[in-house]
Chain A
């Protein structure tokens, strides 16, 4: 029987880098779409508003696992074969876009109405209002929930193992199946998750402090 040693630990660490890569890709791509959806959700054009609301409602109402199944097994059943990494990143990005859209919509809406009025009265266009007045204030409000969601995402990426993708969690399970040294293995896996997530929370708190400081010289 194999024992848990350096090669196994290395295997787990490599898989951890895939977890980070997947999280980063899903967060960035999902973030871009989420931002667009948040603005659409608040658009004056009814059709855009409806479309964004419908998309968010559907994605939030189904398990992300199902999106993953659809994009991997569902699409391959109709003849479109996506590689596991692509199916996984696309599915997670779809999931992220819907949730970030809602978090950011809420943040934008919590900027006081008077900020819109004051900037409109200064002849700014709607785009300029967003860019110079609303989004900078919304970004500050959205920081804690956004980072909170990102930390969740790091852990939720573990579902990609259902399409055969070896992430941090899956690597731990594979090594466990070969060595049966569950305690050491999952201590390591847990420690790695912690090492990824803890700095994110700290970074969030740090950024909040910096942003607060910039308002009170």
Chain B
């Protein structure tokens, strides 16, 4: 059963059409990478999936929820769909532990003791057990991003979205975040990631989607897609060394 179905989605910012009929299906446990130039619509597509952007036509279904703008239905959807952002977006006034426990406590009614166990669990998963009581400002970018992943995982999501999560990081910090994501992928998490890390897309994602001018220009199994691009645009993009 597909975990994500995107069916002929259109999206405009004012007069500018950024998504022009995008269709994509992601199976449970599948890892799909979305690549493309800035402005190709890849981040917008990802943000449509959890309702952060409103699309104008088409249909998206994720983890059994239909995406629309009804606040209550949107909240139910978001309990099942985690998202990690480029700029981490941790809550600076809360400790790492509080960042992670907040939503399980108040949106899922998890008891304080359970929330604590849960938070320690997910922090261990991202290798940051010792940072439970730290404030985000005292962590490196890579550590903050791993906490952001842990915060999403604490919701026990069925699908995880990653929006250029390593783009703000120094190369030496990128590795630690990618490692966490690779572990997640191997653990069977359904993942959609917008990325500039071609190597990561090639090795970890089973499918890669190349977006260009608001459309899915080319897609297929990652290994063949990178080895043998069919369109001149993708050939250009790949040979330009990512960006």
* Chain A residues with a Cβ under 8 A of chain B: 114-115, 117-126, 128, 132-133, 136-137, 140, 214-217
Contacts and interface: CB of A to CB of B under 8 A. Distances in A.
Interface string B92-116: 1100000000110011000000000
A216 B89 contact: no
B92 A122 contact: no
Contact of B52 (A120, A122, A126, A128): A120
Contacts of B87: 114
Nearest to B78: A123
B103 A133 contact: no
B75 interface: yes
Contacts of A118: 85, 89-91
Interface stretch (B117-125, B133-141, B186-194): B133-141
B50 interface: yes
Given A123-B155, A140-B93, A215-B135, A117 B85 contact: yes
Given A216-B137, A217-B133, A123 B103 contact: yes
Nearest to B76: A123
A189 B206 CA distance: 78
A126 B138 CA distance: 28
Given A123-B107, A217-B138, 9 more contacts: A117-B52, A118-B89, A122-B78, A123-B78, A126-B71, A140-B93, A215-B93, A216-B135, A217-B134
Contacts of B89: 114-115, 117-118
17 contacts: A117-B52, A118-B91, A120-B78, A122-B78, A122-B102, A122-B155, A124-B75, A124-B103, A124-B106, A124-B107, A125-B75, A126-B71, A128-B107, A132-B106, A136-B93, A215-B135, A217-B134
Interface string B28-71: 00000000000000000000001010000000000000000001
Contacts of A132: 91, 102, 106
A216 B93 CA distance: 10
Contact of B85 (A114, A124, A140): A114
A125 B75 CA distance: 8
Contacts of B75: 123-125
B151 interface: yes
A89 to B, nearest CB: 34
A128 B78 CA distance: 15
A164 B79 CA distance: 60
